[in-house]
């Protein structure tokens, strides 16, 4: 028992540092009051035979959704069996008790699956389990469990595995952190994989369904994101921000999303359909307006070098804006202003230094989230709500035509290396009566056009 207590004490030291703050990769603090830091755990030994019985009776989930598939080779699995027969200690197994009293594996899935599969006679994929690659008990190679001696069979099935059970009464934000820290495998669980067992229910099922969207995958284009359930986390983030509103957002993003899951864990069919419709409405409009540049940041250039798209990176701050921004607008109102919305956001990324900071630094900070949403929502309202907005803006098709014909800035005479760095300006200013027509249009570098307007304004 002392060994278990030392293990959990070490866990608590790791889990609850003196600063009482936790930081994810975005430098956001996960703040949990001391009174809520409740970890309930139980030390218990199970025989391998008991684990097999628990799995057969549906009391043990060896393959919870968050876990990767069984990937141990036949040789690795065989050597685990050999270790038991040689009395080599097996590391502690960590289990999570779910609300219905069943258990799922936090850490030790590959080991447990190997042991149970040997007794069962076959691997999860249906292949026969014959020992292979043994280096010490070589006479057992190519043997199945039923072919071992009676003593060897008894040794395997009665071997006890030390286990620590994280009880269902544990605080779920703390439990979330435990899941992350207890994963000692070669591939560390991410927050989205952890959520899939901490918050199992109808909401998780909906996220799993929506993450299979071919349209969503065509925009994100990250196979590893999909395989590691990050797609589910992205969709949850969208639903949380749109349901609870960015106005009510408070860091950390992890806790904000966790709360959304807790509050709606067992979605009604009607609510699930509402969420599904909202997601499909927004992802369809994002595809139409932003195309393959959706969720990507444009890195601005200057008068000496052109800018470029960061096409290999998903910018989650832009993901939030582009998805949530369309929630309360009809399809017709967005499509009628698609060019202006795309150009407006591009202009923010290129010319607004404050906005550049808000989408590139501490993006989950409470104030930063609210400030960038305020800027973007005002942009949408100005474009969609101002009937005269389109009268002041040239169509994107004209920009493409001018760029193809002569990609040089009418002000600086420099070559414009990328169409994103260009904008169409009135030769005779609109404010002076200039018309928004091709004869009154000139192609200019944004940098110089902004300088001209700034100087004119001053």
Res 62: pLDDT: 79
Q: Are 163 and 94 in contact (CB under 8 A)?
A: yes
Nearest to 244 by CA among 203, 236, 283: 236
pLDDT band at 164 (very low <50, low <70, confident <90, very high): confident
For 229-269, the pLDDT digits (tens) are: 899 999 999 999 999 999 999 988 998 999 999 899 889 99
Res 99: pLDDT: 80
Res 391: pLDDT: 67
Q: Under DSSP, is residue 264 helix (H, G, I), strand (E, B) or coil?
A: coil
Q: What is the mean pLDDT of residues 89-102?
A: 86
Which of residues 151 and 388 earns the better pLDDT score? 151
Res 414: pLDDT: 87
Res 13: pLDDT: 35
Res 192: pLDDT: 82
The three-point CA angle 40-41-42 to 5° equals 140
Res 27: pLDDT: 39
| CATH fold for domain 394-457 | 3.40.1800
Question: Where are any strands of DSSP class E within 18-74?
Answer: 41-47, 60-61
For 100-117, the pLDDT digits (tens) are: 888 888 778 889 999 999
pLDDT band at 37 (very low <50, low <70, confident <90, very high): low
Distance CA 81, CA 77 (A): 7
Q: What is the mean pLDDT of residues 52-81?
A: 80
Q: What is the mean pLDDT of residues 166-170?
A: 82
For 308-350, the pLDDT digits (tens) are: 999 999 999 999 999 999 999 999 999 999 999 999 999 999 9
Distance CA 359, CA 191 (A): 21
Domain ranges of the chain: 2-197, 203-390, 394-457
Q: Are 293 and 338 in contact (CB under 8 A)?
A: no
Distance CA 362, CA 358 (A): 8
Establish whether the linkage from the previous residue to 252 is cis, with ω within 30° of 0. yes
Which of residues 27 and 125 earns the better pLDDT score? 125
Sign (positive/negative) of CA torsion 119, 124, 126, 128? negative
Backbone φ, ψ for residue 244 (5° rounding): -90, -15
Give the DSSP H/E element, type plus range, for residue 74: helix 74-85
Other beta carbons less than 10 A from residue 382's beta carbon: 12
pLDDT at 12 over 50: no
Mean pLDDT of the chain: 84
Q: Are 90 and 83 in contact (CB under 8 A)?
A: yes
Res 41: pLDDT: 81
Q: What is the mean pLDDT of residues 382-396?
A: 77
pLDDT band at 14 (very low <50, low <70, confident <90, very high): very low
For 115-160, the pLDDT digits (tens) are: 999 999 998 888 999 999 998 999 999 999 999 999 999 999 999 9
Q: Under DSSP, is residue 309 helix (H, G, I), strand (E, B) or coil?
A: strand
Res 187: pLDDT: 52
Res 294: pLDDT: 97
Res 330: pLDDT: 95
Most confidently predicted of 80-89, 280-289, 383-392? 280-289
For 347-381, the pLDDT digits (tens) are: 999 989 999 999 999 999 999 999 999 999 999 99
Res 417: pLDDT: 87
pLDDT at 20 over 60: no
The three-point CA angle 412-430-428 to 5° equals 50
């Amino acid at each position: 028992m002392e060994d278990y207590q030392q293990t959990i004490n070490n866990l608590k030291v790791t889990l609850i540092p003196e600063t009482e703050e936790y930081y994810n990769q975005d430098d956001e603090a996960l703040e949990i009051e001391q009174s809520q830091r409740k970890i309930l755990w139980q030390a218990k030994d199970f025989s391998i035979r008991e684990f097999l019985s628990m799995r057969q009776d549906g009391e043990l989930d060896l393959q919870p959704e968050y876990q990767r598939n069984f990937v141990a080779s036949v040789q690795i699995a065989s050597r685990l069996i050999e270790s038991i027969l040689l009395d080599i200690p097996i590391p502690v197994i960590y289990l999570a008790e779910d609300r219905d009293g069943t258990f799922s594996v936090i850490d030790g899935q590959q080991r447990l699956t190997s042991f149970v599969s040997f007794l069962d006679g076959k691997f999860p994929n249906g292949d026969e389990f014959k020992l292979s690659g043994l280096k010490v008990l070589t006479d057992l190679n190519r043997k199945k469990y039923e072919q071992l001696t009676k003593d060897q069979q008894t040794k395997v099935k009665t071997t006890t595995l030390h286990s620590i059970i994280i009880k269902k009464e544990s605080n779920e934000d703390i439990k979330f952190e435990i899941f992350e820290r207890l994963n000692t495998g070669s591939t560390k669980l991410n927050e989205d994989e952890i959520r899939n067992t901490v918050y199992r229910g109808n909401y998780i099922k909906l996220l799993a369904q929506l993450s299979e969207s071919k349209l969503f995958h065509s925009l994100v284009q990250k196979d590893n994101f999909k395989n590691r359930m990050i797609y589910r986390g992205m969709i949850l983030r969208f639903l949380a921000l749109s349901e609870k509103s960015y106005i009510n957002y408070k860091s950390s993003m992890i806790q904000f999303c966790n709360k959304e899951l807790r509050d709606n864990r067992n979605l009604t069919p009607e609510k699930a359909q509402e969420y599904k419709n909202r997601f499909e409405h927004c992802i369809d409009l994002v595809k139409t307006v932003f195309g393959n540049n959706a969720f990507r940041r444009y890195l601005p250039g200057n008068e000496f070098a052109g800018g470029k798209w960061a096409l290999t990176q998903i910018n989650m701050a832009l993901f939030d804006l582009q998805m949530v921004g369309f929630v309360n607008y009809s399809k017709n109102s967005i499509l009628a202003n698609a060019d202006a919305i795309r150009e407006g956001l591009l202009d923010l990324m290129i010319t607004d230094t404050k906005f550049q900071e808000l989408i590139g630094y501490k993006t989950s900070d409470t104030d930063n989230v609210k400030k960038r949403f305020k800027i973007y929502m005002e942009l949408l309202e100005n474009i969609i709500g101002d009937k005269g907005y389109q009268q002041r803006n040239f169509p994107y098709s004209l920009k493409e035509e001018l760029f193809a014909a002569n990609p040089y800035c009418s002000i600086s005479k420099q070559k414009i290396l990328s169409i994103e760095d260009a904008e169409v300006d009135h030769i005779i200013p609109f404010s002076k009566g200039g018309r928004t027509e091709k004869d009154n249009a000139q192609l200019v570098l944004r940098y110089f056009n902004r300088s001209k307007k700034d100087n004119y304004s001053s």
